[in-house]
Amino acid sequence: MLLLLMVPARGHDLWLLPPTVLKKDEKATVTAISGSEFPIGDHTPDPAKFAKRRVIQPDGSETAADASGTKDNGGLLSFTPTKPGLYIVAVETTPKLTQLEAAAFNEYLVSDGLFQIFRLRAKAKELDKDAIERYSKSPKVLFRVGDGKDGDPSKPIGLPLEIVPLADPLSRKVGDTLKVRVLFQAKPLANANLGWSHPGDGDTPVGTVRTDARGEALIPIAKGGLMTIRLTHMTRPKAKDYEWESFWTSLTFRLPD
């Protein structure tokens, strides 16, 4: 069901945080966090309500994570890794509708770097028009279990909007860069506004960069530990119940300290 909600202009990102204990044949728990300041949660997601809870195993096969309740503002996703190597966990939320007053919608467009949508509204003389938007989120997290080398971090997994690292982010060090590609509906997305954050960076990305014509961009690695890369993309389908549709995604991983 689509829910019609009244929300602030700045929405909540959704991140998946990697497990802190990673051992083969022992339960691993990924935490889904919703908030505006990475990785602090201020809205507790219910993992049982996610449309999909996906686990990509090192051999490329896929299984589903269990919804394991909530704890400390986080939704818990659990599974038991049976193979060493790289794991990718991703979720897809059920689309919802939100209604925003004109000023709040304009602020949201600017804050998320959706300048092309703002310009479109300005050209059509619609900056004073309220908006009904359909939105969904599809974050993913990468982590390694044991010393296994299997698993491909650069293989797309088919999310509606996806940030694909073109090198293993878990092997990046401070001072390196990470090249990523953005895919929207399996095609490279040019001029996408990527932002990145580390814990303690506040409620806005510490830096942003636009993708090139191939949907690619370089992300600097300035700190060790947790890091997330996030993106919002918006289209204008002019459907019966909504005019705008946005797709949110994030890619989270833990760098060597």
- For 215-257, the pLDDT digits (tens) are 999 999 999 999 999 999 999 999 999 999 999 999 999 998 7
- Cα 102 from Cα 127, distance rounded (Å): 6
Q: H helices of the chain, where?
A: 102-111, 115-123
- Cα 11 from Cα 13, distance rounded (Å): 7
Looking at per-residue pLDDT, the higher value among 200 and 257 belongs to 200
Q: Which of 173, 213, 215, 217 is nearest to 195 (CA)?
A: 217
pLDDT tens sequence across 125-175 = 999 999 999 999 999 999 999 888 899 999 999 999 999 999 999 999 999
Mean pLDDT of 197-209: 94
Q: How confident is the model at residue 4 (pLDDT cuts 50, 70, 90)?
A: very low
- Cα 35 from Cα 14, distance rounded (Å): 7
| Residue type for position 218 | L
Answer whether residue 2 shows pLDDT above 70.
no
Tokens 């022992």 -> residue: 26
The percent of residues above 90 in pLDDT, for the chain, comes to 88
- Cα 249 from Cα 229, distance rounded (Å): 8
The pLDDT of residue 257? 78
